[in-house]
Amino acid sequence: MLPLLSVLISLGLWLGRPVPVLAGPRESVCVPAPDNPFFSRDELVELTLVLPRARVLNDRGATPGLHPARLSYRDAAAAQHTLAVQVQVRGNRRKDPAVCDFPPLWVKFPPESRPGSLFGPVEELKLTTHCLSDKYTLREYLVYKLYNVLTDLSYRVRLCRITYHDSGGRGAAEAHYAFFLEPTEALAQRHQATVVPRRLVIGMENLNPTATATMVVFQYLIGNTDWSVPYRHNIRLLSQNLQAPPLPVAFDFDYSGLVMAPYAVPPEQLGITSVRQRLYRGFTFPPATYAAVRHHFNARREALNYVYRACPYLSRQEQDFAIRYLNDFYDVLNDPKAFERQIVRAGHRNEEKRIHIRGFD
């Protein structure tokens, strides 16, 4: 059987062929690049963001505008640096004012600020803000760190503490946790890969089996059902070689049971009533793949717990909340009957009856 991406090339559906290019950010990279040190470190970054608060928070339509802002930080020598940036509201669900008091943002950097900047040579970065509460920001940040422990095929993140000032002098300053997300282009460059365009509809069965099994079991671990491979909902696909199946990377975990955001409700088609209820949404894999993934997750168990125990910004109650949820996952992983029932058989059912969820397309 010809590799899937090679078939797509022959059909004129791959990059470089006369296919209409969709509007939006670039979806491919080819040249390896060194890691951005900003995402290679774990220390909390203290920042100050001065922005026209009311104009930004009220600009949540289909095409939010860019707003001038000033982003300040101190370097290792305590010298202050201020960058003239632009901010823009982003997101889907979290852009809704009924969901988030403070929505996630794009932060766009001017060319002259990039050389030598703390943030590295980036044009723009996604910033996940506090939305409703710092608690949920920290929870989602740590889910990304769990993913990093399990696989390097994951987005890197950098935690910040941002003090927000209104540029018009209105209201008091507020300090909240937030985190920046590694650009997709940088993720692809780290793996010497290209980003598969969203217009190519590729099913889960056509992906790298080991990478996919790791991803779907991770989604089960964190209690996340808010993703779809063919609709590319909260999933990116990377291609390292046109002769090899693509690699999936998950992102956006606010609907997971480990985050348990107040607005997170599972789709009714899934038959569960709370995001704390785990539901396996992957397909089935050969026994050897399951065995390898189970061994891998067991080998990383203490490291996953350490993500929470070592976080100085979490209360003991928050740490226990997360580790109890992880322990429940391991009860299933290491019980052959429970694993067969909740993972293996569920995978067979998912292959036989594929659920369409409105909003994933």
Q: What is the pLDDT of residues 117-129, one digit of tens each?
A: 999 989 999 999 9
Give the domain extent around 68: 43-185
Q: Which residue has the tokens 């928070």?
A: 57
pLDDT at 360 (0 to 100)? 54
If one counts the domains in the chain, the total is: 1
Q: Which residue has the tokens 């292959």?
A: 351
Residue 338 lies in a domain: no
Span 285-343, pLDDT tens digits: 999 999 999 999 999 999 999 999 999 999 999 999 999 999 999 999 999 999 999 99
Confidence class for position 262, pLDDT limits 50, 70, 90: very high
Whole-model pTM? Answer: 0.90
- In the predicted model, what is the mean pLDDT of residues 31-55? 89
The terminus-to-terminus CA distance of the chain in angstroms comes to 28
pLDDT at 29 (0 to 100)? 41
Residue 83 lies in a domain: yes
Residue 342 lies in a domain: no
Q: Is the pLDDT of residue 25 over 50?
A: no
Whether 117 and 85 have beta carbons less than 8 Å apart is answered as no
Residue 106 lies in a domain: yes
Whether 249 and 154 have beta carbons less than 8 Å apart is answered as yes
Residue 208 lies in a domain: no
